[in-house]
Structure 1
């Protein structure tokens, strides 16, 4: 890493510090020459600003110039007093006030010489940094990040596409899911984000705590490759699960990414089965709908569906997770997570029935009622459903339908005649309600 102090040691430049002697460890990322009175819009953090002070014409001109450097995060100001009779005292004072290191350039030194030597120093430092980073290629991700942070002069983190922090030496200044969402939406933010190289369905991202110069960006790309290699070498865990564990069934509609997504989602999970778009894993943890929503824009799948069993013997849990996944498939949304414990028993049972069987059940039980409604332009099917969902209470159903209770009783009686069923009897109610739910496209 090239610092302001590094530049003071370059042979032939003879730079002399006039202010900010305690700030010479600041990293320098590039050099920028300007004579604008307010160069703020053109500056970037970490730049060495080189100026002949042609903008200084009268007292008071130093404040806006130096303030602009401070706002932009400039590393230092290297100034020549060849055309101003030396460095004005107010420039020195402004640099002290805004904590900008001020380096005096000898009046006989060409700016082209300074630019050439600084550029060469930055290039040499970049190559050295790359070699030092490569020397840590076999180290864990945490060690790679420590080395990269030292070379870049900025904190670094590795994030999972699920919105988790994989590694990082310092607390992330913004929530990880927000960083991932901004990256997916191609929005800029306070962090620079670089994707980790690799072919995993769920990408990892490198977040760097600030804007990068060209040399820093190249180093971040090098880090991306090294972290990608490290990730590829990671062995799958061998979890020691109890006899009764939760099973998660995950489907990536329209893609074969389910295995990768499930393994990233459940790092402690044991993969049980994978058939491309659908995978099953046993685990002691619960999948996070928020994490799946975070990663969804980054995968090819049109939807991510997930069914989750309660802890149970493995084969039983896998069957239940599969039924919960079938319930999820009948619901709307790009990400749908259905815990089996939150689904009614009849819904789980129907979820396991093929579509043809569901349609046949609906026609066999409700056929006469459906035909009557179609011919008479009535809606007795809806009346029956509301009645059953009100636990067979005529009073509650009449109130829900905004009709008189006697009207409700007449309609239920007529529906019972058409169906050949007694809608006040539990077993008949159960058959009819299952047939009604069999026609649902959404749970």
Structure 2
């Protein structure tokens, strides 16, 4: 029988020895009394291993013990599970057998002798009451730091839990922590979003912010520890909500980031969390702009996307430059990202013609494409040909018949004939730069 109870987060085996009226006496493991206790498990099984978990105080009347040697599998099971201690009454009132004491010494399990006249129900009742009061004290001590910074809250919680604590942004940024995070923050967020188990306990911080913060605790938690971690998450949420955003001071030639959250109006919150050093320039619905010294990556956005209401997050990033020019460059890069269905597009990595085309309305793009390519499109439709593709490959090969023929797996003379026929239909000389330029831009307008 297992009894879980609210536990003081610093409760140890030594704490139990000090409870009045129990008269527990250590028989082995006196140097191990600082082990934390999380719950009580009462058993008379000879091998309770599959039912045990770490931190349990195991109570037993030793009814399973018959002769020397019986203690070995029982105590070994306690050691494998990480049990905090064994509290036992004498077998058949004859005291605890030496076999049990020796096994506890070998396996480093604290052994507490329970007086023969004391029932396990009394032990359970007193322990539960005492530890419930201590657990309430732990929450009150944490609540007393409610007005403190996040760093102080984590220090208090870590002291109560006996475990390291962190606050992580939904982008994987460590907001604060009591020790170095054992794994990359982005990996922790991805596992949390995918509901994959991990070595850290994750408690979400509730609030109105689009990008969540997460409280992390370094290990599995008991029920009472989980309650304290949830209390910590609530206090962190309050602290986050009331914390003023620092005013950024950026040089005139900072880069501009344009961000769009398709399907929601979370862009401002996402951009502020993505760029903690950024200066918000404008926010309107699903699109926001900020000046920054940082450059976001597709990895950061893909990490947080599963946690948001937005169907997709797109981002355009300018090169550093004068504010007005950077703004326009970021805006056009955002449109390129939308048309390419790519998360992040940096203006410096996009051809000038793409940035110009990105600024053209869809109706104008369609009209220009039809005006330039109309005869070729009609011919392909009527003849079930593919001259449009041939022309595209030819131009992407810088107008080289040899390279284009190789890419299309045709003879170079066949390629020259097709390009000549396409030129006739278009009324353009596709071997000249001017003719190539108009047709190439028209081809790119469909993207």
TM-score exceeds 0.5: yes
- Provide structure 1 residue ranges, at least 5 long, that are not aligned to the other structure: none
Alignment of 1:114-153 (within 5 A): 114-153=123-162
2:25 and 2:209 map into 1 onto residues whose CA distance is: 52
2 CA distance for matches of 1:356 and 1:289? Answer: 30
Q: Secondary structure at the match of 1:151?
A: helix
Which residue, out of 6, 14, 22, partners 2:23? 14
3-state SS, counterpart of residue 312 of structure 1:
coil
Q: How does 1:270-309 map to 2 (within 5 A)?
A: 270-309=279-318
Aligned residues, how many?
Answer: 438
**By how many angstroms is 1:69 displaced?**
2.0
Spell out, residue by residue over 1:62-106, the C-alpha distance to the aligned partner (whole angstroms, 9 max, x if none). 232222222322221111114262222232232223322211111
User: Which residue does the alignment assign to 2:48?
Assistant: 39
CA contact (8 A) 2:142 2:156 kept: yes
The alignment status of 1:369 with 2:363, answered yes or no, reads: no
* Cα distance change of structure 1 residues 288 and 99 upon mapping to structure 2, 3 Å threshold: farther
Contact 1:159 1:207 in 2 (8 A): yes
Conserved 8 A contact 1:31-1:119: no
Match in the other structure for 1:383: 390
Counterpart residue number, 2:425: 418
Q: 1:392 aligns with which of 399, 402, 406?
A: 399
Q: 1:207 to 1:38 in 2, by over 3 A?
A: farther
Contact 2:93 2:116 in 1 (8 A): no
> Which residue number in structure 1 is paired with residue 242 of structure 2?
233
Which residue in the other structure is 1:87 paired with?
Answer: 96
More off after superposition, 340-349 vs 259-268: 340-349
Q: Distance in 2 between matches of 1:199 and 1:57?
A: 62
For the residue of structure 1 that corresponds to 2:40, the secondary structure is strand
Does residue 1:23 correspond to 2:26, yes or no? no
- Helix, strand or coil at the partner of 1:252: strand
After TM superposition, where is structure 1 displaced by more than 4 Å over at least 4 residues in a row?
none
SS in 1 for 2:202: strand
- The 10-residue stretch of structure 1 (28-37 or 91-100) with the greater mean CA deviation from structure 2: 91-100
Which residue does the alignment assign to 2:7?
none
Mapped contact 1:162–1:295 kept (Cα < 8 A): yes
The secondary structure found in structure 2 opposite 1:242 is coil
Summarize the Cα distance change of 1:209–1:39 in structure 2 as closer, same or farther, 3 Å threshold: farther
Q: CA deviation at 1:197?
A: 2.2
> Is the CA contact 2:63–2:91 (under 8 Å) kept in the aligned structure 1?
no
Find the partner of 1:162 among 165, 171, 190: 171
Mean Cα deviation higher: 208-217 or 138-147? 208-217
1:47-58 map, 5 Å: 47-58=56-67
Maintained 8 Å contact 1:29/1:122: no
User: Partner residue of 1:407?
Assistant: 414
Partners of 1:171 and 1:95 in 2: how far apart?
A: 36
Aligned partner of 2:329 in structure 1 is: 320
Q: Cα–Cα, structure 1 residues 40 and 332, in superposed 2: closer, same or farther, change >3 Å?
A: farther
Distance in 2 (alpha carbons) for counterparts of 1:44 and 1:210: 13
After superposing the two structures, state which structure 1 stretch, 91-100 or 196-205, moved more.
Answer: 91-100
**SS of the counterpart of 1:347?**
helix
**Are 2:2 and 1:2 aligned?**
no
* Equivalences for residues 146-225 of structure 1 within 5 A: 146-225=155-234
Residue of structure 1 equivalent to 2:354: 347
Does the 8 A contact of 2:319 with 2:326 survive in 1? Answer: yes
Residues 24-82 of structure 1, C-alpha deviations (whole Å, 9 max, x = no match): 12222221211122223322322211111122233333232222222322221111114
Structure 1 CA distance for aligned equivalents of residues 45 and 368 of structure 2 = 81
Listed as ranges, the matches of 1:106-121 within 5 Å are: 106-121=115-130
Compared CA separation, residues 181 and 84, structure 1 to 2 (3 A): farther
SS in 2 for 1:306: strand
